[in-house]
Every structure is written in C-alpha cells, then in structure tokens.
Amino acid sequence: MSTTTPSLPEAVTTDPNRPWRIAARVAGLAVAASLAMLLSGVGLPALASRIILLVGLIALAALLLRGKYAKFFSGPAAYAATASLLLLVVLAIFATELAPQNPYDLRQLDIMDGRQPPGSTNFDRSMTFHLGTDEQGRDILSGILYGLRVSLSVSIAATLAAMAIGVVVGIYAAWAGGRIEAILMRIVDFQLSFPSILVALMLMAAFGRGLDKIVIALIIVQWAYYARTVRGTALSEARKEYIDAARGLGLPSWRIIFGHLLPNCIPPLIVISTVQVANTIVLESSLSFLGVGVPITQPSLGLLIANGYGYMLSGQYWMSMYPGVALLAIVASINMVGDRLRDTLNPRLTR
Amino acid sequence: MLVYLLRRLAQSVFVLIAMMIVVFFGVYMIGNPVDILISPDATPAEIEETMARFGFDQPVYIQFLKFVGNALQGDLGRSFVHGEPAVQLILSYMPATLELAALGLLFSVAIGVPLGVYAGYKADRWQGRAIMTGSIFGFSLPNFWVGMLFILIFAVQLQWLPSTGRGDTVEVLGMRLSIFSSNGLQYMILPALTLALYKASLVTRLARAGTQEALTQDYVKFARAKGVSETRILFVHVLKNIMIPIITVLGLELGSMIAFAVVTETVFAWPGMGKLLIDSITTLDRPVIVAYLMLTVIIFIVINFTVDVIYTLLDPRVRVKGEAA
C-alpha cells in the first residue's frame, strides 16, 4: 500500500512507488465500476463486467503483496489456501455461467427430481445432479454456487461499510479528543461488551429477513470494533513527525486528516478486515441457519444448510453436508490467507 | 475505591436506563404497542385490561414510566403462544441453558488446558504447530456446522449418543436439571461439546502462551535440576501458575456462552432460553423477545460490573486509571 512520506514537492516526481500507486487506483476503479455495472444491470454485458471484476481483484491482491511474494508463499499451506480462495471467488463471480441450472428459476425445477442422491440424473437424463438435489428438485451444486455468491457479497459489503464507518468515527475520536472522544469510546465499549451474534439476532428479529437488512445488521455489529482499532492507530500516528511536518506546512486539518493520517491508518486494517470477512460469513450463515438472515429467494450457504438439516437425520446428508463443506472451505481459506497476510504485512501483530 | 465502585454502579444503572429507553421506543414507536403486547386473538376484555395496565391511552412519558414500573416488577407482557407471563416463561427455560453452559465451560477447560500445555511444551515442533492450526479451525468453524457434523457422526452413523432433545431430568433445588441423571447427561454431551469448541480453542491459546512463558521461569529450572519428571513439572508446577488467567477469561466468557447457546440449542433442539428465543421469533411471540432482550441485557450488565469490580480488587492499576479518568 502507499505510504505518505513527508516529501518535498520535487521529490514526489521521483517517488518510485508512483506507478504502482496509479496501478492500484486503476485496479480499484475497475473493481468498483464493474461491481456498479453488475448491480445496476447497465453498461457492459454481465460476463465482461465479471471478468473485469476478477482481473481487478487479482491485480489489487498482487499489488498489495508486491515485493513480498516469497514471504507470503512460505509453505505449501499458503499455496493451497490461495488457490482454494481464488477458486471459490471465481466460482462465486461466475456462478451464473458455471451453474448447471438456475436454482431459483422455478421453470427449470421439477418436483419429481426432489431429494435425489448425488450422481443421479433427471427423468430425461439430460442432466446429472453431481451433488444431489433438495426437496424441490433443485441441483445442490448450483445452489452452492449461487449461495457462495450471496454469502461472500453480503459479508464483503458489510465488512467494507463497517470499516468505512469505523475509520471515520475512530479518526474523528482520536483527532477531536476530550469529551467527544470519551463519549464515542464509551459507546464503542458498551457495544463491544455484548456478543455480536446476540446483537445481530436482536436486530434481525426487529428488522425481519432481507439482504439489505442483514447487511445493515452486520455493519452495526462490526463498526465499533474498527472504531476502537483505528482510534488506537490514529492516536499513535498523530504523534509522528510527518503530522507535525504537515502542520508546519500550514495544511488545513481536513487535508492532514484525509491526506496524511487516514492513509496511514488503513494498512493495519487490511489484515484485520480479511479475517473479519471470514467471521462475518460465519455470523451471516449462523443467522441464516436460525432463519433470521437472508430471504428464502436468495439463500446463502447457511440457509441451504438449514433447509437440508431436517433431512439429515434420515440419512439424506447431501442437502446440508455439501453446502457445509463449501462454507468450511471458504472460511478456512480466508482465515489462512489472512494469517499469511498478517505475517507478511504486519509482523508486529503476532498471534 | 468506594468512589470508583459507586461511579461504576451509576454507569451500570445508566446503561440499564438507556437500554430501557431503546427497547421502549423500539417497541412502542416502530410498531403499534397493542399489536406487540397483546395477542391477535385476545378478547376485547383482555385488550381493554392490558391497555389499562400499560396505560396506552396516557401521554408518552407516563407510558414510559409505566413500562419501567412494570418491567421492574418483572411484567413484560404475556407470551401469545404459551399464555404465561414472558419473564417467568424465560426463567423456567433458563436452568437448561445454564447447565449446558456450565458443562460447556467444563469441557472447554478439560480439552483446552492439556492441549495448550502440550502445545506450549512442544511450541516449535510439529505437534505444537498442529495443535495451533487446529485451534484456528476451532475459532473459525461455525457453531451450527460443528453441531451438525457431531450429529451426523455420533448420532446418525455411529449411534453412540442421542441426537436431539433433552432426556430425563431430575429436580434439584426447584430446577429441572438433566446433568444429574445418566440419561440426561447423554443428551447433553454433544451440545455441550459443540458449545465448548470455540472456548476450547481460546483456552488452548491462553494455556500455550502461559506455558511458554512459565517454562522460562526459575522455578521450572529448579524443578528440573531437582530431577522432577517433565510430566510433573508441566501438569503440577506450570499448570498451577497458568490457571488463574484462564479462569479469569472463562469467567468473562460466560456471558458469550449464553449467546452462543442460541445456535447450539437450535441445532440440538435443546429446550433452553436460546431455543425459546428463536421459536418466539418465528412465531412472532413479541413479549418473549422483548423479555429475553431485557433479561440478557441485565445479565450482561451484572457480568460486566462483577468483572470490573474483581479486576479492581485484583489490579490496583485499573483503579488508578478509573479514578484519573
């Protein structure tokens, strides 16, 4: 990531990191633009947007690790985790293209195919259900691909938004100090004294099911955590010389905060938020499993597991087992990649 | 000291009042309170009676005072489904949750401490690393997924243990507990293990860090010089010294056990508070949801207050910092 150094104007042009910084911004912009096109349904065809999204994400990851590949890929586990995370992300992004059927298009479903074990075919043998079907004749594999997309996008969206709110509150608290800081941090302490699953459960009980509602609930339970972390970082960064230098140059405080303080508070958050995405996936799937998460029309992995759970005791394990394996794979690979990221980018933070 | 405690108590009371305001306005302002506190199939007479009891015809501040007054007397409405007062209903489900949490804590110590001590002893060997990698899984695996796997393996495939439900209970001190009957205990093992897994990973990490530190201390060197066996050093000398922080943290985590129990109880159909909450959410039994919320808030405020007080007694630095702030 870019680090703002207290350099003089003529030194900026010779900054060796400049091309990389520009590349990172282009990649970030490409990711944002492709996501916007996918969500709004205008602009480039969906497949093109998805390819841009994937390439942009890979480019961002590569830029993040620039010059530290050897440290990151320190063992076979790092390769395995990266490969499996990449595979799962590709599956989630291209779920529409890769899935054998659209599991939520009722015209493609036949109730006669319900609860078929893995490997069975449908009545005219035109399609094989590699991982079996659920009670409505829905292909489990297709359900998993779509569910993976829901789980990942809900968690990433909630984590990013919570991070943004947390960063603003944390930096504001650290910068303002005094009574404002005391009040904000009291609120943070208060919220963090309750387990996040309980808070999220209560919010969902009040809101009702829905994709937007679960994202909001997940933001509310997470922001305080970021606010506390960022305040700590911002307090220590604000004492450093480059902030004094910026003050000495007579920069207005908004420029010091957004141009100097904020960019230096972000890097430690990258590692935290990677692991936090995994935690959010777990939280979201738990809520969906309990029936207070995503709506039935857009099931995440947790809801798929819940749907098949009732049949498990009668030996029809595949309906909840395979979504469970997918959930385990995504959570484990994000956690392991996060672990490697921490060792690579932030050696000070040890377990 | 007394000043600090009083201030801390005042803060707790303030938090409780703040929560009451949040709940009151959440319930009363967003939805129609009549819908929330009165069953849809109540008779007109019942509606009249409840309306008068909660004072819905009065101005808002009087309503709030009445709500607080009723809440302080433990009256948060009647369950639509069970027809009992909501608070009493939850209290009658509480022993099941508490005994599950207690057994879960016991399991997490029984699993976590030996693993952690061993991992600390073999910190740089493959055994130590394998245990630490395993503890990552303990942290990251979703609770419900572990429970499901346990049911699939131990109840469906091997048929060693019952899958769901509670089993026999014995009346002890006016509470129905299954921990004292062998049949009931069988039903408890899988849910308690599931609940314990996350905490066991936490304990493993704490015990490992403690052991690594303790092994460099003089008393360990001295014991080795005396010729004490390694097993005895680890499980007598070191263990005694690392247990205090572990027990402190576990005490802190008791509250989150109750929260995690919501998921575990749903998976295993264990009739505790958490299952009651989920059932109430699905059946829109709102008085029970409100009562559960208020009760958990009180439990957490009490836990946090107790922990702070104990910390103050144990560590004078907290006290100084608290008085300076």
Closest among A185, A163, A167, A176 to A265, alpha carbons compared: A167
Read off the pLDDT band of B36 (50, 70, 90): low
Cβ of B237 under 8 Å from any chain A Cβ?
no
Query: Is 80 exceeded by the pLDDT of residue A211?
Result: yes
Q: What is the pLDDT of residue A161?
A: 94
Give the pLDDT mean for A212-226. 91
For residue B25 the two structure tokens come to 């306005």
Distance (Å) from the alpha carbon of B149 to chain A's nearest alpha carbon: 8
CB within 8 Å: B278 and A331:
no
Angle between helices B273-282 and A196-207 (to 10 degrees): 20
Tell me which range, A151-155, A264-268, B88-92, B276-280, is most confidently predicted by mean pLDDT. Answer: A151-155
Cβ of B205 under 8 Å from any chain A Cβ?
yes
Closest among B207, B250, B199 to B116, alpha carbons compared: B207
Contact residues on chain B for A315, CB-CB shorter than 8 A? 156
Q: What is the pLDDT of residue A154?
A: 92
CB within 8 Å: B140 and A278:
yes
Q: Is the dihedral of CA B196, B202, B205, B206 positive or negative?
A: negative
A156-161 long-range contacts, Cβ below 8 Å, gap at least 24? A156/A277, A157/A215, A158/A214, A158/A215, A158/A218, A158/A219, A158/A222, A158/A280, A158/A284, A159/A218, A159/A222, A159/A273, A159/A276, A159/A277, A159/A280, A160/A273, A161/A215, A161/A219
Helices (H), B165-315: 182-214, 218-226, 230-232, 239-267, 273-282, 286-314
Go through chain B and tell me how many residues it has. 325
Evaluate whether A28 touches A56 at the Cβ level (below 8 Å). Answer: yes
CA-to-CA dists, residue A47 to A69, A85, A97, A260, B314, angstroms:
30, 21, 8, 38, 62
The predicted-structure confidence for B176-227, as pLDDT tens digits, reads as follows 677 777 777 788 888 888 888 888 888 898 888 888 888 888 888 888 888 8
Which of the two residues, A73 and A134, has the higher pLDDT score?
Answer: A73
Q: What is the pLDDT of residue A350?
A: 44
Percent of chain B at pLDDT exceeding 90: 0
Q: Mean pLDDT score of chain B, rounded to an integer? A: 79
Give the pLDDT mean for B161-189. 73
Q: What is the ipTM of this complex?
A: 0.78
What residue has token string 């039994």? B285
- Burial-class residue B29 by CB neighbours within 10 Å (0-12, 13-18, 19+): exposed
DSSP bridge pairs for A120: A129
Cβ of A288 under 8 Å from any chain B Cβ?
no
Query: Is 70 exceeded by the pLDDT of residue A234?
Result: yes
Q: Which residues contact B293 (CB under 8 A, 6 or more apart)?
A: A202, B23
Read off the pLDDT band of A160 (50, 70, 90): very high
The predicted-structure confidence for B100-136, as pLDDT tens digits, reads as follows 888 898 899 899 888 888 888 887 788 888 888 788 7
Helices (H), A290-345: 301-312, 318-345
Closest among A34, A314, A336, A306 to A147, alpha carbons compared: A306
B275-284 long-range contacts, Cβ below 8 Å, gap at least 24? B275/B93, B276/B89, B276/B90, B276/B93, B277/A201, B278/A290, B278/A291, B278/A292, B279/B81, B280/B79, B280/B81, B281/A201, B281/A205, B281/A290, B281/A291, B281/A292, B282/A291, B283/B80, B283/B81, B284/B80
For residue B52 the two structure tokens come to 């008068």
Cβ of B130 under 8 Å from any chain A Cβ?
no
- The CATH homologous superfamily to which domain B86-324 belongs is MetI-like (1.10.3720.10)
Q: What is the pLDDT of residue A349?
A: 47
Taking only residues 309 to 348 of chain A, the set having a beta carbon closer than 8 angstroms to any beta carbon of chain B reads: 309, 312-313, 315, 317, 320-321, 324, 327-328, 331-332, 335-336, 339
Q: What is the pLDDT of residue A86?
A: 92
> Which residue type does B28 have?
Y
Which of the two residues, A213 and B243, has the higher pLDDT score?
Answer: A213
Which of the two residues, B51 and B250, has the higher pLDDT score?
Answer: B250
d(CA B241, CA B151): 37
CB within 8 Å: A202 and B293:
yes
Distance (Å) from the alpha carbon of A307 to chain B's nearest alpha carbon: 12
For residue B41 the two structure tokens come to 């199939």
Query: Is 90 exceeded by the pLDDT of residue A219?
Result: yes
For residue B212 the two structure tokens come to 């690594």
The predicted-structure confidence for B5-30, as pLDDT tens digits, reads as follows 788 788 888 888 887 787 777 766 55
CB within 8 Å: A286 and B296:
no
Read off the pLDDT band of B87 (50, 70, 90): confident
Tell me which range, A191-195, B272-276, B314-318, is most confidently predicted by mean pLDDT. Answer: B272-276
For residue A149 the two structure tokens come to 């997309």
What residue has token string 């479903």? A109
Which of the two residues, B235 and B56, has the higher pLDDT score?
Answer: B235
Percent of chain A at pLDDT exceeding 90: 13
Q: Which range is least confidently modeled, A188-197, A272-281, B30-39?
A: B30-39
Evaluate whether B291 touches B170 at the Cβ level (below 8 Å). Answer: no
User: Which of B26, B132, B259 comes nearest A197 by C-beta?
Assistant: B259
Read off the pLDDT band of A162 (50, 70, 90): very high
Query: Is 60 exceeded by the pLDDT of residue B153?
Result: yes
The predicted-structure confidence for B40-80, as pLDDT tens digits, reads as follows 667 777 777 777 766 666 777 777 777 778 777 777 777 77
Neighbouring C-alpha atoms within 13 Å toward the C-beta of A165? 16
DSSP bridge pairs for A129: A120
Is B171 in a helix, a strand, or coil? strand
What is the per-residue burial (b if ≥16 Cβ within 10 Å, else e) of A126-159?
eeebebbbbeebbbbbbbbbbbbbbbbbbbbbbb
The predicted-structure confidence for A284-323, as pLDDT tens digits, reads as follows 999 998 888 888 888 888 888 888 887 877 777 788 888 8
B203, B206, B212, B215: CA torsion to nearest 10: -70
Evaluate whether A151 touches A327 at the Cβ level (below 8 Å). Answer: yes
Neighbouring C-alpha atoms within 13 Å toward the C-beta of A76? 0
Give the pLDDT mean for B298-325. 68
Contact residues on chain B for A305, CB-CB shorter than 8 A? 144-145, 148
Q: Which residues contact A138 (CB under 8 A, 6 or more apart)?
A: A101, A103, A109
Which of the two residues, A256 and B50, has the higher pLDDT score?
Answer: A256
Closest among A165, A168, A155 to A200, alpha carbons compared: A155
CB within 8 Å: A327 and B142:
yes
Contact residues on chain B for A282, CB-CB shorter than 8 A? 140-142
For residue B193 the two structure tokens come to 């293990």
Contact residues on chain A for B282, CB-CB shorter than 8 A? 291
- Burial-class residue A348 by CB neighbours within 10 Å (0-12, 13-18, 19+): exposed
The predicted-structure confidence for A3-48, as pLDDT tens digits, reads as follows 555 555 554 556 777 888 888 888 888 888 888 888 877 778 888 8
CB within 8 Å: A331 and B141:
yes
Q: What is the pLDDT of residue A122?
A: 67
Closest among A311, A315, A305, A314 to A140, alpha carbons compared: A305
